[in-house]
Amino acid sequence: MDSNRRKRRIGILTGGGDAPGLNAVIRAVVHTAMNEFNVEVLGLRNGFDGLVEPEDMIVLSHSEVRGILSHGGTILGAANRGNPFSRKTIVNNKEVISDMSEQALDNIEKLQLDSIIVVGGDGTLTISKALYDKGAPIVGVPKTIDNDMGGTDVTFGFDTAMRTAAEALDKLHTTAESHSRAMILELMGRNAGWIALGAGIASGADSILIPEIPFDLTPVINRFEERAANGSNFNIMSVAEGSRPKGGKQQYKDDAGLYSGRLGGIGQTIADELRVDSGIDSRCTVLGHLQRGGSPTPYDRWLATLYGAGATRLAMAGAYGMMVNLQGREIGSISLSDAVAQTPKLVNPDGDLITAARGLGIVFGDE
C-alpha cells in the first residue's frame, strides 16, 4: 500500500431549517465512513456558508458524534439564507448580491473533499443540484418536517413534528371541553398539509384545514352545531399555516405582524370569523418552532440513520448528483434533478388519507 496516498475525505453540511434527526444523519455518516470505508469526515458549519467560508470546519470522528443520536438540532449549525449563487456581501460599504458558487467549488478542491453530503429540504437540495451541475461531487439527503420533499416517501423530522402537534391537540381537548370552545391549532407545513392532516387524524380532530383543499367555514360551523346537539359543545381544529379559503389567498404574516414572505395568521383569522359570524367562542394557538425542536422519535432516528449510511455509500460509489430516499420500506436513491422536479409533494385530496378521515367524520371545509 502506498503510504503517501492521501486518505479520502467526505464533507457534510446541514442546510435550511433544523429538523429532529439531523444529528442522527451526521452520526451515521461518520460511523459508516470510518468503520466501513476508513474515510475521514469533515463537518462544514452553518450550511453552505461553511463551504463558501470554511474557516470554522471540524474534523468529525467517533468522539465528536458520541451521544448525539437522540439530540435535536444539528451540531454543525444550519442556515437557510446561505445560497452561494445569491450571497449577500459588503462592497464599498454597500450590501450587494454576489455569485460565490465558484468560490465554493474552489474550496471543495482546497479542502480535498472527494464528495459532499448535503442534508436539506427543497431549497438546499435545489442549490445542491445547481452546484452538482457545475461539477460539485454532491450527494443529497432529504430533510424537512413538512414532508413535502419529492422523490421520497417520507422525510425524517416529519414523524417528530407530527407527534408534537398531536400531543398539543390532545392537550387542547381538555381546555376546549371545559370552556365549550372551538380550539384551533395552527401548524407548519408551508404549502403542504401533511403535519396538520396526520396530527389531526391521530388526535381525533373534528376539522382539518389544509392547503390542498380550499375551505369554507360553513361546514365547520355545521360540525360544531351537530356536536353541540349531541352533547359535545366543543370543537378541535387542526389548521395548516398555508390553508386558504375558497376563492381566497394564503395569509402571510411575520412575527411583528407585518405582511412578508412567511406564512401565518390563518388560525387567528378563522377564530375571529367563527366568533363574529356564528358566536362560537374560539381560541387559536400557534405551535410554531416547537414542531422543529426536541428529541427525534425512534422512527426519525431510524430513518435518519439509514439515510446517513445510504448517502455515505452513494458518495463512496461515486454516485454524485443523487439523493438517498425511502421507497416503501427500502432505502434507495433518485437523481437530485428528479427529486427537485417532484417537489413539493402535496397531500392528494382524493387519496386514502383524506378518504379515511372523511369516513371518520372529519370536516375539511369543502363539503
Enzyme catalytic residues: 146
The DSSP code for 111 is T
Provide φ and ψ at 355, rounded to 5°: -60, -45
In contact, 196 and 333? CB cutoff 8 Å: no
Separation CA 156–CA 158 (nearest Å)? 5
Give Cβ neighbours of residue 75 (< 8 Å, ≥ 6 apart). Answer: 23, 26, 43, 64, 65, 68
- Which cell numbers hold the place of 99? 455569485
Q: Is residue 289 exposed (0-12), middle (13-18) or buried (19+ Cβ within 10 Å)?
A: exposed
Separation CA 345–CA 153 (nearest Å)? 9
- Which cell numbers hold the place of 13? 453540511
92: phi > 0 → left, psi -120 to 50 → alpha, else beta; which? left
Three-state secondary structure call for residue 187: strand
- Which cell numbers hold the place of 283? 381560541
Location of C-alpha cell 443540484: 129
Give Cβ neighbours of residue 355 (< 8 Å, ≥ 6 apart). Answer: none
Length of the chain (residues): 367
Separation CA 32–CA 10 (nearest Å)? 11
Separation CA 53–CA 182 (nearest Å)? 50
Longest dimension (CA), the chain: 82
Report the sign of the C-alpha dihedral through residues 165, 170, 174, 180, in that order: positive
CA dihedral 140, 142, 144, 150 (to 10 degrees): 120
The amino acid at residue 18 is D
Separation CA 281–CA 229 (nearest Å)? 16
